[in-house]
Amino acid sequence: MAEFFNVALTFPTLPYSIVLAFAVVYWLLAACGVVDDGFATDGIDLGGGEEGLHGISGMFSRLGLGGAPVMLVIALLAFFGWTGTYLTHLFLLQPLPVPLRWAAGSAVALLALVPAVPVTAVILRPVRRLLLRLRAVPQTSLLGRIGVVASPQVTDTTGYATVDDGGAGLILQVRLPEGQTLPRGSRLVLIDYVAEHNHYRVAAEDSHPALSFQDSLIAGDKEIHR
């Protein structure tokens, strides 16, 4: 065990150990709901804002690592890079003199990513297929439909409503503009779908009379609009 920590916490394995530890802590926090798990989007912001996120995602796409959360890709790259670097460090680099070990270790740390990239790409193939199945499809066809508040009230932070879709009906998360509320039983109009939060922005029915009339026509002809 002492030898394991000695190798894992010294150069060239140490950088990979730090990244891998960060990834493990991140996913533990994600499992507890403390941070976003990244599966709702195609990655996370690592401090560079929208531009930084697109840059990292674009680089991964060129390497065949796109279509998966950025933190998942980083965790896999760190794991395989760490494994290759650790084994090389353990069996080949430890006996070398310190200056030579640092020089050779730098090369090993960089070259460890060469096999890590294709191995990660292979593992991500089934993950991407699974994510495509799990990804919610925005129900933009419901925009303009009339719903009825089913929760005690709808505000800008909470609430849900029932919507007649011509079948069994739908229960949807809905949100009003800030400062507005609607009590249970009120009628509302779906005006926008927010995919990242999986809810609809709505307005009171009396503020959209044209949409209300259109919805009444659709609801009255269910045989045609199923």
Which of 11-25, 27-41, 49-63, 160-174 is most confident?
A: 11-25
More confident: 83 or 52: 83
Confidence (pLDDT) at 65: 85
Q: Quick count: other Cβ atoms within 10 Å of Cβ 109?
A: 21
pLDDT digits (tens, 9 = 90+) for 141-193: 788 899 999 998 999 998 999 998 776 678 899 999 999 999 999 999 999 98
pLDDT value for 55: 60
Question: pTM to 2 decimals?
Answer: 0.57
Segments of the chain assigned E as strands: 146-149, 153-154, 160-163, 170-175, 182-183, 187-194, 199-204
Mean pLDDT of the chain: 80
pLDDT digits (tens, 9 = 90+) for 64-123: 887 788 889 999 999 999 999 999 999 999 989 989 999 999 999 999 999 999 999 999
DSSP string over 145-172: -EEEE-SSEE-SS--EEEE--SSS-EEE
Q: What is the pLDDT of residue 93?
A: 93
